[in-house]
Amino acid sequence: MHELGLVNYAVKEVSKIAEQNNVSRIKSVTLEFGEVSGIVTDYLYDYWNWYSKKFPMFEDSTLYCEEIPAVTWCDNCKIQYSTVAYGKTCPHCGSGRTWLLRGNEMRIKSIEVYDSDDASSADGGDIEASGEYKPQ
């Protein structure tokens, strides 16, 4: 259940970014995570909903999740391929000398904020977010 830790990380990072940008209310946060990261999105949404009730900055905020396709690199034939479809064995040359290029990470992709303290405001703005969590 590393999803609770991931949501905790995201809330802390978004809070820091919001503070640096003088933002008091978050409208939405988009996380992207790797296809083979083992993250269960239902748990992320549940934990996000719990956290959003605990912190006024996140009240009524929405979490969006996007998946990053897992891609593996073959050292033998120097070709990338879909990790989920073929696993650790290269479909081009049959080599096992492969490694995961991407697909195990989680990062904050975007943060949408309210233009004012008024949560009913229909207009939102975006702030740049940079934060990446790599599961151990």
How high is the pLDDT of residue 126?
47
The helices-and-strands tally (H runs, E runs) of the chain is 3, 8
pLDDT by residue for the chain (136 residues), tens only, comes to: 589 999 999 999 999 999 999 999 999 999 999 999 999 999 999 999 998 999 999 999 999 999 999 999 999 999 999 999 999 999 999 999 999 999 999 999 999 999 764 443 333 444 444 444 444 3
51, 15 in Cβ contact below 8 A?
no
How high is the pLDDT of residue 1?
52
Rounded CA separation 66/31 (Å): 6
How high is the pLDDT of residue 115?
75
Structural tokens at position 111: 């943060």
Rounded CA separation 14/28 (Å): 10
Structural domains in the chain, CATH included, are 3-69+103-133 (3.30.2320.80)
How high is the pLDDT of residue 135?
40
Rounded CA separation 78/99 (Å): 11
Amino acid symbol at 66: E
How high is the pLDDT of residue 2?
83
How high is the pLDDT of residue 122?
34
